[in-house]
Protein backbone atom coordinates (compact mmCIF):
# COMPACT_ATOMS: atom_id res chain seq x y z
CA UNK A 1 0.00 0.00 0.00
CA UNK A 2 2.89 2.29 0.95
CA UNK A 3 4.40 1.67 -2.46
CA UNK A 4 1.22 2.84 -4.17
CA UNK A 5 1.15 6.08 -2.15
CA UNK A 6 4.85 6.63 -2.88
CA UNK A 7 4.28 6.02 -6.59
CA UNK A 8 1.30 8.39 -6.59
CA UNK A 9 3.30 11.07 -4.82
CA UNK A 10 6.24 10.65 -7.21
CA UNK A 11 3.96 10.79 -10.24
CA UNK A 12 2.29 13.98 -8.99
CA UNK A 13 5.63 15.53 -8.08
CA UNK A 14 7.24 14.61 -11.41
CA UNK A 15 4.25 15.85 -13.42
CA UNK A 16 4.35 19.16 -11.56
CA UNK A 17 8.11 19.52 -11.90
CA UNK A 18 8.04 18.73 -15.61
CA UNK A 19 5.10 21.01 -16.29
CA UNK A 20 7.10 23.99 -14.93
CA UNK A 21 6.68 27.19 -16.89
CA UNK A 22 3.82 25.93 -19.05
CA UNK A 23 1.60 26.47 -16.00
CA UNK A 24 2.36 30.16 -16.11
CA UNK A 25 -0.95 32.00 -16.06
CA UNK A 26 -1.96 35.68 -15.92
CA UNK A 27 -1.63 37.07 -12.42
CA UNK A 28 1.51 35.07 -11.62
CA UNK A 29 5.00 36.44 -11.17
CA UNK A 30 7.27 35.62 -14.09
CA UNK A 31 10.56 33.92 -13.24
CA UNK A 32 13.66 35.85 -14.15
CA UNK A 33 15.69 34.72 -17.16
CA UNK A 34 18.86 35.58 -19.04
CA UNK A 35 19.29 34.57 -22.65
CA UNK A 36 21.93 35.34 -25.19
CA UNK A 37 21.08 37.18 -28.35
CA UNK A 38 20.27 34.98 -31.33
CA UNK A 39 22.08 37.55 -33.45
CA UNK A 40 25.82 36.99 -33.31
CA UNK A 41 27.82 39.57 -31.45
CA UNK A 42 24.88 41.18 -29.63
CA UNK A 43 24.58 41.19 -25.82
CA UNK A 44 22.04 39.08 -23.99
CA UNK A 45 19.04 40.33 -22.05
CA UNK A 46 17.85 39.76 -18.52
CA UNK A 47 14.22 40.21 -17.51
CA UNK A 48 15.05 41.52 -14.02
CA UNK A 49 16.85 44.50 -15.55
CA UNK A 50 13.56 45.73 -17.02
CA UNK A 51 11.75 46.10 -13.68
CA UNK A 52 9.55 49.18 -13.79
CA UNK A 53 8.93 48.88 -17.53
CA UNK A 54 6.20 46.95 -19.36
CA UNK A 55 7.67 44.03 -21.30
CA UNK A 56 6.15 42.21 -24.26
CA UNK A 57 7.62 38.84 -25.15
CA UNK A 58 6.85 37.34 -28.52
CA UNK A 59 7.50 33.61 -28.48
CA UNK A 60 7.96 32.19 -31.94
CA UNK A 61 7.24 28.61 -32.82
CA UNK A 62 8.57 27.12 -36.03
CA UNK A 63 10.62 30.05 -37.23
CA UNK A 64 13.25 30.05 -39.96
CA UNK A 65 13.97 33.65 -40.98
CA UNK A 66 10.31 34.42 -40.18
CA UNK A 67 10.71 38.21 -40.57
CA UNK A 68 7.48 38.51 -42.52
CA UNK A 69 5.47 36.95 -39.71
CA UNK A 70 6.98 39.40 -37.24
CA UNK A 71 6.90 42.57 -39.36
CA UNK A 72 3.57 43.84 -37.97
CA UNK A 73 4.61 43.06 -34.40
CA UNK A 74 7.84 44.97 -34.92
CA UNK A 75 5.94 48.04 -36.11
CA UNK A 76 3.52 47.72 -33.20
CA UNK A 77 6.36 47.43 -30.68
CA UNK A 78 8.20 50.41 -32.13
CA UNK A 79 5.09 52.58 -32.06
CA UNK A 80 4.78 52.03 -28.28
CA UNK A 81 8.48 52.33 -27.50
CA UNK A 82 8.07 55.93 -26.37
CA UNK A 83 5.72 54.68 -23.65
CA UNK A 84 8.51 52.54 -22.24
CA UNK A 85 7.44 49.27 -23.86
CA UNK A 86 10.31 46.78 -24.06
CA UNK A 87 9.78 44.06 -26.66
CA UNK A 88 11.84 40.94 -27.22
CA UNK A 89 11.33 38.08 -29.62
CA UNK A 90 12.10 34.68 -28.11
CA UNK A 91 13.43 32.26 -30.69
CA UNK A 92 14.13 28.60 -30.04
CA UNK A 93 16.96 27.23 -32.15
CA UNK A 94 16.21 24.20 -34.29
CA UNK A 95 18.34 22.23 -36.68
CA UNK A 96 19.41 24.24 -39.75
CA UNK A 97 17.07 27.10 -38.88
CA UNK A 98 18.14 30.72 -38.73
CA UNK A 99 16.73 33.44 -36.45
CA UNK A 100 14.70 36.28 -37.95
CA UNK A 101 16.62 39.42 -38.89
CA UNK A 102 14.61 42.27 -37.43
CA UNK A 103 15.18 45.47 -35.45
CA UNK A 104 13.81 44.03 -32.20
CA UNK A 105 16.20 42.05 -29.97
CA UNK A 106 15.88 38.35 -30.76
CA UNK A 107 16.84 36.09 -27.86
CA UNK A 108 17.89 32.50 -28.20
CA UNK A 109 15.96 30.25 -25.81
CA UNK A 110 18.41 27.40 -26.02
CA UNK A 111 17.93 24.81 -23.23
CA UNK A 112 21.73 24.72 -22.99
CA UNK A 113 21.50 27.90 -20.93
CA UNK A 114 20.31 27.12 -17.43
CA UNK A 115 19.59 30.78 -16.83
CA UNK A 116 16.36 30.63 -18.83
CA UNK A 117 13.21 28.58 -19.06
CA UNK A 118 10.90 27.32 -21.77
CA UNK A 119 7.26 28.02 -22.46
CA UNK A 120 5.64 24.92 -23.84
CA UNK A 121 2.69 26.54 -25.54
CA UNK A 122 4.18 28.48 -28.41
CA UNK A 123 3.70 30.68 -30.33
CA UNK A 124 2.52 33.10 -27.70
CA UNK A 125 2.55 36.75 -26.70
CA UNK A 126 3.24 37.68 -23.07
CA UNK A 127 2.62 41.04 -21.48
CA UNK A 128 4.54 41.49 -18.23
CA UNK A 129 3.99 44.57 -16.11
CA UNK A 130 6.66 46.66 -14.38
CA UNK A 131 6.35 44.57 -11.20
CA UNK A 132 7.26 41.42 -13.12
CA UNK A 133 3.73 40.01 -13.08
CA UNK A 134 2.18 38.38 -16.13
CA UNK A 135 -0.88 40.42 -17.04
CA UNK A 136 -1.80 38.79 -20.35
CA UNK A 137 -0.91 35.63 -22.20
CA UNK A 138 -2.15 35.07 -25.71
CA UNK A 139 -1.41 31.67 -27.16
CA UNK A 140 -1.99 30.65 -30.75
CA UNK A 141 -0.73 31.71 -34.17
CA UNK A 142 0.91 35.13 -34.23
CA UNK A 143 -0.94 36.10 -37.42
CA UNK A 144 -4.31 35.12 -35.91
CA UNK A 145 -3.58 36.93 -32.66
CA UNK A 146 -2.28 40.18 -34.11
CA UNK A 147 -5.57 42.15 -33.91
CA UNK A 148 -6.23 40.97 -30.37
CA UNK A 149 -2.65 41.89 -29.36
CA UNK A 150 -2.96 45.34 -30.92
CA UNK A 151 -6.21 46.10 -29.05
CA UNK A 152 -5.04 44.62 -25.78
CA UNK A 153 -1.67 46.36 -25.88
CA UNK A 154 -3.27 49.78 -26.30
CA UNK A 155 -5.55 49.28 -23.27
CA UNK A 156 -2.86 47.57 -21.18
CA UNK A 157 -0.24 50.25 -21.74
CA UNK A 158 -2.72 53.01 -20.86
CA UNK A 159 -3.04 51.32 -17.44
CA UNK A 160 0.71 51.16 -16.86
CA UNK A 161 2.53 53.98 -15.07
CA UNK A 162 4.25 55.95 -17.86
CA UNK A 163 8.04 55.99 -17.64
CA UNK A 164 8.99 57.10 -21.13
CA UNK A 165 11.30 55.36 -23.55
CA UNK A 166 13.89 53.05 -22.06
Partner 1 sequence: MKYLLVIACLFSSLVMAAEDAAVAADIADVKRSVLELNKDLYALEESLLSPSTMRAELYFSLTNGKYFEPLSVEVTAQGMKPVQHIYTQRQIDALKMGAVQPLAEVNLGPGKHQLKAIVRGRDAMGQNRELMIEQEVEKQDKPLLLEIVVADDDSLQSARASLRFW
Site for partner 1, rule CB under 8 A: 34-37, 40-46, 49, 113-115
Nearer to partner 1, 106 or 142 (CB): 106
**Cβ-based nearer residue to partner 1, 110 or 135:** 110
User: Do 132 and 29 form a contact (C-beta atoms < 8 A)?
Assistant: yes
Smallest distance from partner 1 to CB 89, Å? 16
Whole-angstrom Cα distance, residue 89 to residue 73?
A: 10
Min separation Cβ 40 and partner 1, Å: 5
CB 123 within 8 A of CB 139: yes
Q: How far is residue 45's CA from residue 145's CA, in Å, rounded to a whole number?
A: 25
Measured from the CB atom, the residue of 39 and 152 that comes closer to partner 1 is 39
Query: In the complex, what is the shortest distance from the CB of residue 42 to partner 1, in angstroms, rounded to a whole number?
Result: 8
Task: State how far the Cα of 15 lies from the Cα of 2, in Å rounded to an integer.
Answer: 20
Amino acid sequence: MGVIYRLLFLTLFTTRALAGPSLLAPGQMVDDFSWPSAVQGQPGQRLAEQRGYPVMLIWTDDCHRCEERLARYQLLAQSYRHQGLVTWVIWTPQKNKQPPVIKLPVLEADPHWKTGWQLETTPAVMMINGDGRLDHLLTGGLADNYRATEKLLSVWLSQQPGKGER
